[in-house]
Structure 1
Amino acid sequence: MKNSTVALTLSLFPGLGFIYSGKVIRGLFYLFATSVPIILSFLLAITSQDGAFLAFSVIGVFFYIISFIDMVIQNTKQKAIFVENEKGEKSQEAERFYTILLSFIPGLGHFQLGMMNRGLTLLASFLGLGIMIIFVTTLTGREEFLVFLAAIPAIWVYGFFDAVQQFNKKSRGETLIDRSIFEDFETRREDGKKSKSIATFLSIFPGVGHLYLGLQRRGIQLMAAFLFSIYILDILRLGIFLFLIPIIWFYSFFDGLQKASRYGKEELEDTPVISNFINHQKWVGIGLLLLGLYYLVGNIFIPALSPILMDIINIDLYYWFNRYFQTTIVCVLLIGGGIKLLMGSKKRV
């Protein structure tokens, strides 16, 4: 009899699970019923036929779900899954199967193993993060927040393999400790030290790894620079400066890796990225003042005066403002910065 766990894993690719189990005809049917509509939908997407693309995509996904459910039903019908051993307990094969099956939803596999706290942490993180991101995106109308959905597959993969690891511990006779993921991280620290692995993982988002290591000023500056750059470039539509965002991200990420590797070996100094920030407060204040004036003019004065000027002199002030004002600001800043650098180089000579 074929291994039900292997068959279920192979069924993630439609048809392979049935072919492995010896049901070749059914496997080939699901293989073609799923892959052909998906290939057609891809070809239709290239030709920009959106309606047909959506229809074939739905058909392919439908047969994929049906094939997976069919494999689950076939496995549950196997007598080996329900056979009990001499002590009246479920067989190890049955528990392995149900643990892996339930682990496709983070946390449920841990519930099967009796680890309620650990499973609840994963389930709440998985569902809570997804719901919160969708809620914020819907509330603000900003699709940029959907980029944080990339964390959901990471939680899913971690939860799946953690459930398998916990089952392997149980099968070896080890005692399972029901504690949350966060408690597990805390217990791995020695003498209250921070975890280098967690710091490295948190460094994926600029500044968070530094904050975890206690580098507050450096972390806040990196986080503010990253988020503020995205916000300003989006508001002012400065696509030419989008290269600054990956530069800030890579700098923050590798700086976080260096700080994490040096943690515990030497004392880390919370040196801000922009030193002597107090000496630059005047320029920061001027920048905030100009940004506030820009919003005041662009969102209040221009929309209010545009209809009046349109009736008087037949000029759409709102159109000219949106079309040329931002470009003019960028040009002035670039020219001013270039003149400043040229004057500075002459003084040094």
Structure 2
Amino acid sequence: MNRPNNIIAFFLSLIPGGGFFYLRRPIVAFMYIIPIFFLIAAAVFSLFVLAHLELAFIAVVIGIFIWFIQLIHCVISLLQNPTISVQSGEELEASRQKKEESDRLFITFMSLIPGLGHMQLGLMNRGLTLMTLFFGLITMVIFTVAVTGRGIFIAFLGLLPIIWIFNLFDVTQFLNKKGKGEEIIDRSILDDIEENRIGRKSKPIAMLFAIFPGAGHLYLGLQQRGIQLMALFLVGLFLIDLLRLSMFLFLIPIIWFFSFFDALQKVGQYDQNLEDVPVFTVFRNYQKWLGIGAILLGVYYLLDQVLINAFGEMFYQYFQMDLHYWFYNYFQTFIVCTLLICAGIYLLAGKKKSASANKGEV
């Protein structure tokens, strides 16, 4: 009968009870599965039925604690009782395999905290780089949110899973090299980035900058294309928030994905003498209209932020009319509808002109 693989058992233990099922210990598995799923059900019931957020939070915390206990239990079981079936003449080889698998499992477990697995392998520079990057990002985000009071910076914590997954797979690669008898060199991630440089630019850094629309293009020297994509993303967010156009929020992910994959394509074409081709070349022919639009937007923002607040109380005192109510509930919607109707009429008129011009040429 094949012996269980300790590494597979460890990764299955990330699922409540999965590691113990793999080790053929179903009773222990159910001892952990039942309370965890009971707590999950209690948290869902408390949140959506009782509308009790604190009770749901307590249930989730207790569930996470039990999950962590079962993970530690499974790891200790693997380290103390490795299940290896050997013949009588193979005790020495079996003992070596036991030690290698125990060390591999222990290092994999340590790598759950970024950098610790590398340090256990003796890769101090690489481990310290990953640990500093992971916990430094957490510290900077918390500090920024605390100083500015804006929770939007919490979105940068979305980079943490990327760093954590990279750390885990990086440790696995080094463990495979060690198992094959290859030499392990302690090099920082920055040294690896230098090896992957394309010309004067770094391919990994360009891909990292591509996460933010336009930044990857700017790094590659595509100034016009990068500025246009960045402006389209940020101005789009600003206008949707300012004019309350929540129905157009679907455009933001489209802009982000277009910018990200466009940057990846430009990185792949870097050796082919990239040309800085703007995304919207048609804007050059409509600078006058863009200027008028900017002026109208400035007037609107002046009305929204200054005039309404300055004269709202006076207007209500003399005319018994709440300017804030009328402006935020009707005037904004009226402006958006008017702009959309005018844009549609302009596009239809332009289409008719081009059709008549084509008929004249014929």
Q: TM-score, normalised by structure 2?
A: 0.80
Partner of 1:97: 105
1:154/1:329 CA distance change after superposition, 3 Å: same
* Counterpart in the other structure of 1:178: 186
In structure 2, the residue corresponding to 1:126 is in which secondary structure?
Answer: helix
Amino acid at match of 1:292: G
Instruction: Provide the rounded CA distance (Å) in 2 between the counterparts of 1:110 and 1:131.
Output: 22
Alignment correspondent of 2:306: 300
Please say if residues 207 and 218 of structure 1, whose CA atoms lie closer than 8 Å, have aligned partners that are also in contact: yes
320-329 vs 285-294, which deviates more? 285-294
Tell me what 1:120 maps to. Answer: 128
- Of the three residues 209, 219, 223, the one matched with 1:216 is 223
Aligned pairs for 1:269-308 (under 5 A) are 269-275=275-281, 281-308=287-314
1:139-180 per-residue CA deviation (whole Å, 9 max, x = no partner) reads 555544444333221111111010111122123232222222
Pair 1:135–1:282, CA change in 2 (3 A): farther
Task: Indicate conservation of the 8 Å contact 1:203/1:257, yes or no.
Answer: yes
Alignment RMSD? 3.3
Within a 5 Å distance, the mapping from 1:269-348 to structure 2 comes to 269-275=275-281, 281-348=287-354
Instruction: Give distance in 2, aligned partners of 1:259 and 1:38.
Output: 45
Answering whether residue 243 of structure 2 is matched by residue 236 of structure 1, we say yes
Taking a change above 3 Å as real, the CA distance of residues 190 and 344 of structure 1, as seen in their structure-2 partners, is closer
How much does 1:201 deviate?
6.0
The Cα offsets for residues 48-95 of structure 1, whole Å up to 9 and x where unpaired, read as 533443343233222112222333444455599xxx99xxxx943343
Shift of residue 107 of structure 1?
Answer: 1.3
Identity %: 47
Q: Distance between the aligned counterparts of 1:168 and 1:198, measured in 2? A: 26
The CA deviation at 1:302 is 1.4
AA of the residue aligned to 1:151? L
Q: Write the letter of the residue equivalent to 2:265.
A: Q
Contact kept in structure 2, 1:41 and 1:54, CA below 8 Å:
yes
Opposite residue 244 of structure 1, the aligned amino acid is L
Deviation at 1:120, TM superposition (A): 2.1
Letter in 1 for 2:304: G
Structure 1: which amino acid aligns with 2:228? Q
Structure 1 pair 331/142, CA: closer, same or farther in 2 (3 Å)?
Answer: farther
Task: Answer yes or no: is the 8 Å Cα contact 1:98–1:112 preserved in 2.
Answer: no
Pairwise CA distance, 1:279? 5.9
Q: Is the 8 A contact 2:79 2:102 kept in 1?
A: no
Quickly say closer, same or farther: Cα 1:284–1:96, change in 2 above 3 A. same
Q: Following TM superposition, by how much is the alpha carbon of 1:16 offset from its aligned partner in structure 2, in angstroms? A: 2.7
Residue 245 in structure 1 maps to residue 247 in structure 2: no
Matched letter for residue 250 of structure 1: F
Aligned length: 341
* 1:128-207 paired onto structure 2 within 5 Å: 128-137=136-145, 139-189=147-197, 194-195=202-203, 199=206, 202-207=209-214
Residue matched to 1:62: 65
Q: How does 1:12-31 map to 2 (within 5 A)?
A: 12-31=14-33
Please name the residue that 2:266 is paired with.
Answer: 259
CA 1:22–1:341: 2 relative to 1, 3 Å: closer
Q: What's 1:268 paired with? A: 274
Cα distance, 1:105 vs. partner? Answer: 1.2
Give the SS at the match of 2:281. Answer: coil
